[in-house]
């Protein structure tokens, strides 16, 4: 059983990551319960999909089903209070092993889940994971329960393309962008930076279609942002390997950052997805104090823009300097297996 906030699908990181940790296997069946339906009920991860019952109780059919085919394990990605209560209820009724995996902060920067409920969830869990080192330290310090960092790696790599971009002096520079931008306000801030840097941006994936942004493709094109859509892996990374860098958007962590819980602690699965398939350098747009910027700096695989146009221009000059560009490419090539873990499904499901 998997308990998520919204429909698991390709339009967001959790949905894409679930493909890695819930692969199709003989004699394994998945049942997904979600709190909300915000993507037109699109569920494209293999399994049975349901909405968490309002009364947090299983219906008669489900109770009968779980008696005939016992639930072995429950994996929850906590985000809302109701989800945590449902996970505790399901664990009590089925006797299944409970595993808690914080992909997003739901208690430190935001109070989506109360302290008392998080404590119960962690106490009842046989294994506790966090997506980043920064989140891990925060949750262990507050709740004094041992947690383990489990980065959103990929379980299997099907292709790899070495970066072939040759640095040239151009008026406009083509680059890629991967991932979601979590508010229209942050999108407008990033757009200002892209304009200041004179970048032509290929925004790959379904990020431009996020319902909370309500973007218009015509307006995006006017601002030198093209949307190739959700390309096949091989085509996607062939294209990216011909670009100087890929932008990974995050937050500013300034007063006007409305999603500090994402900016501070989250580790975009698209970063690992990209670095597992190509050694194209990474350009983080956001604060140096975000989890993703710290990861990129630690491994010397790209740069971070910081906040403001002048800081961004300095970061662009840095990543386009031949010596630096070559260093980032070589480090990514050397570290390409850092982003892949064939045992990922076993780790996530606590299977030894």
Q: Is the pLDDT of residue 352 over 80?
A: no
End-to-end CA distance of the chain: 18
**Those residues with Cβ within 8 angstroms of residue 324's Cβ, 6 or more apart along the chain or in another chain:** 303, 318
Mean pLDDT of the region 175-196: 95
Sign of the four-CA dihedral 33, 38, 40, 44: negative
Higher pLDDT, 271 or 39: 271
Residues 209, 217 contacting (CB under 8 angstroms) = no
Percent of the chain with pLDDT over 70: 99
Mean pLDDT of the region 58-77: 89
Mean pLDDT of the region 164-172: 80
Q: What angle do CA 217, 218, 222 make, to 5 degrees?
A: 115
List helix spans (H) across 146-299. Answer: 184-196, 217-222, 233-240, 260-265, 269-275, 291-299
Mean pLDDT of the region 70-78: 96
Return the bridge partners of 4, or none: 34
pLDDT tens-digit map of 224-255: 999 999 999 999 999 999 999 999 999 999 99
**Those residues with Cβ within 8 angstroms of residue 34's Cβ, 6 or more apart along the chain or in another chain:** 3, 4, 5, 6, 7, 8, 49, 50, 51, 52
Assign 99 a pLDDT band (cuts: 50, 70, 90). very high
Q: What is the pLDDT of residue 330?
A: 98
Mean pLDDT of the region 13-26: 93
What does the alpha-carbon distance between residue 128 and residue 98 come to, in Å, rounded to a whole number? 9
Return the bridge partners of 249, or none: 285
Residues 173, 199 contacting (CB under 8 angstroms) = yes
CATH architecture of 173-338: 3-Layer(aba) Sandwich (3.40)
Q: What is the pLDDT of residue 342?
A: 96
SS3 303: strand
Query: Where in the chain are the domains?
Result: 2-150, 173-338
Q: What is the pLDDT of residue 169?
A: 67
3-state DSSP helix/strand/coil % of the chain, to nearest 5: 40, 15, 45
Output the average pLDDT for the chain: 95
Assign 202 a pLDDT band (cuts: 50, 70, 90). very high
Phi, psi (degrees; rounded to nearest 5) at 348: -65, -35
What does the alpha-carbon distance between residue 14 and residue 4 come to, in Å, rounded to a whole number? 8
Assign 173 a pLDDT band (cuts: 50, 70, 90). confident
Residues 225, 201 contacting (CB under 8 angstroms) = yes
What does the alpha-carbon distance between residue 4 and residue 42 come to, in Å, rounded to a whole number? 14
CA separation (Å) from 75 to 87, 171, 215?
8, 49, 34
Mean pLDDT of the region 208-216: 92
Same fold, 2-150 and 173-338: yes
Residues 90, 116 contacting (CB under 8 angstroms) = no
What CATH fold (topology level) applies to the domain 2-150? Rossmann fold (3.40.50)
Percent of the chain with pLDDT over 90: 89
Phi, psi (degrees; rounded to nearest 5) at 86: -65, -40
Side-chain half-sphere exposure of 21, counting CA atoms within 13 A: 27
Cα 206–chain centre separation? 13
């Amino acid at each position: 059983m998997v308990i998520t906030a919204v429909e698991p699908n390709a339009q967001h990181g959790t949905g894409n990551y679930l493909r890695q940790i819930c692969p199709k296997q003989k004699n394994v069946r998945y049942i997904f319960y979600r709190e909300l339906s915000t993507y037109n009920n699109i569920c494209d991860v293999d399994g049975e999909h349901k909405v968490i019952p309002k009364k947090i109780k299983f219906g008669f059919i489900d109770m009968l089903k779980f008696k005939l085919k016992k639930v072995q394990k429950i994996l929850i990605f906590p985000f809302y209070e109701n989800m945590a209560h449902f996970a505790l209820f399901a664990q009590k009724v089925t006797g299944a092993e409970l595993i808690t995996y914080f992909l997003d902060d739901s208690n430190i920067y935001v109070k989506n889940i109360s302290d008392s409920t998080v404590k119960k969830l962690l106490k009842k869990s046989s294994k506790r994971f966090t997506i980043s080192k920064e989140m891990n330290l925060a949750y262990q310090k507050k709740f004094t329960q041992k947690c383990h960092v489990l980065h959103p790696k990929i379980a299997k790599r099907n292709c790899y393309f070495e970066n072939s971009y040759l640095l040239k002096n151009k008026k406009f520079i083509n680059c890629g962008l991967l991932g979601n931008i979590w508010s229209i306000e942050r999108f407008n801030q990033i757009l200002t930076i892209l304009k200041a840097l004179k970048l032509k941006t290929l925004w790959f994936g379904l990020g431009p279609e996020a319902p909370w942004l309500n973007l218009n493709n015509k307006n995006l094109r006017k601002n030198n942002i093209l949307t190739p859509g959700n390309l096949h892996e091989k085509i996607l990374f062939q294209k990216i390997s011909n670009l100087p860098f890929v932008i990974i958007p995050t937050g500013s962590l300034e007063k006007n950052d409305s999603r500090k819980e994402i900016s501070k602690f989250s580790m975009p699965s698209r970063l690992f997805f990209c670095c597992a398939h190509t050694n194209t350098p990474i350009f983080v747009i956001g604060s140096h104090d975000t989890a993703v910027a710290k990861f990129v700096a630690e491994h010397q695989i790209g740069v971070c823009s910081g906040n403001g146009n002048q800081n961004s221009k300095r970061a662009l000059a840095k990543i386009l300097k031949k010596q630096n560009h070559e260093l980032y490419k070589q480090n990514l090539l050397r570290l390409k297996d850092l982003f892949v873990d064939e045992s990922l499904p076993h780790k996530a499901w606590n299977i030894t």
